[in-house]
Amino acid sequence: MLRAPFRSLSTTARKSLKIGLIPADGIGREVIPAAKSAIEALGSDIPKPEFIDLLAGWETFTKTGNALPHETVDVLRNECDCALFGSVSSPSKKVVGYSSPIVALRKELDLYANIRPVLSVASEAGQKAAVDLVVVRENTECLYVKQEEQIFTENGREARATRLITERASRRIGQMAFEIALSRPRKHLTIIHKSNVLSITDGLFRETVRKVPTLPGVDGKYDSVTIMEQLVDSAVYRLFREPEVFDVMVAPNLYGDILSDAAAALVGSLGLVPSINAGDNFVMGEPVHGSAPDIVGKGISNPLASIRSAALMLRHLGYIKGADRLDTAVDQVIREGTTLTPDLQGTSSTTEVLDAVLKKI
């Protein structure tokens, strides 16, 4: 896990910490309350938390015609210090008027980096983890700009999508990735691309990230960071065969999304993998798992990824002691192995796992 702050936002003179809560859809409504309880258990290690409940998601769209109400964005932007987002049940087919609220939030708040640590828990405290890597995913462009069209030709329908890669976005995510690599013991950064085929778009991403150490004002700051490259298809192969070769991986949006979900398989479950959506002025925690409609309401959703996402959020804000307490509690529960949800071959409920974490905190 990211045990050191990699880019702390200001914590100056905060008497309270205002946290927006956006459970959204599916099991998001089960795991975000668990993360809230874990944060409340930290006591004086963080400013007094104040939670603001906010709406977004498919269910909100079906009721109001808007998946991301303007009020939600306004409150996050003007009243909150940070936020936690649950999950979205987006339809697989086009629905007129609907677009993903999490994608929209990333753009509205300029949360240009999606940071996803993937860490296995060693059988004994202090032992080296078998998997310990971070996927740094550009969060605002690539195919996720959602500029698609369908046309009719004499040969049938054609569907086309615009893929956007800009120098500005690639530079920003590259700088974030270098900062994270610099904060980790190995100081190793792998640039993920497919520029042997997509020579213009991926070529620009690769070239721009490689140039980060030569930017004006950097002055040798990243000299200790080893830079490698990997084509995305071979990166997936190596991820499963030898995950230990990776430390920090930086990738365009789509590749980063796929790689981080695939990496979750290495540690047992998507229900363990946290993330934050981070910008220069705001941070929003988000468990990597989806809305899991097949287990909604059964009381067996895994709350650990949401609690770890809360820890990442607090760490990014500079509240290291509180973040460490959350991470350590989760590690202990996983290591003991007696109170786990079914996705980890356990028989415990969401509430039972949360209670076990709270006792460790």
- List the one residue out of 140, 132, 138 whose CA is nearest residue 191: 138
Q: Give the integer Cα–Cα distance in Å for 143 and 163.
A: 5
What does the chain come to in residues? 361
Q: With contact defined as beta carbons under 8 Å apart, do 87 and 59 qualify?
A: no
In degrees rounded to 5, what are phi and psi of residue 307? -70, -40
- List the one residue out of 314, 287, 312 whose CA is nearest residue 302: 287
Q: Which amino acid is at 7?
A: R
Q: With contact defined as beta carbons under 8 Å apart, do 271 and 344 qualify?
A: yes
Q: Which residue is listed with tokens 């880019």?
A: 7
> How buried is 135 (Cβ within 10 angstroms: 0-12 exposed, 13-18 middle, 19+ buried)?
buried
Q: Give the integer Cα–Cα distance in Å for 200 and 198.
A: 6
Distance linking the first and last C-alpha atoms of the chain: 17
Q: With contact defined as beta carbons under 8 Å apart, do 321 and 291 qualify?
A: no
Give Cα 45 to chain centroid, integer Å: 24
Strand 276-278 and strand 248-251: pairing? unpaired
3-state SS assignment for residue 119: strand
Question: Which residues carry out catalysis?
Answer: 144, 194, 233, 257, 261
Strand 188-193 and strand 226-231: pairing? parallel
Q: What H or E segment, with its residue span, contains residue 237?
A: helix 232-241
Residue 331: half-sphere exposure toward Cβ, Cα within 13 Å:
20
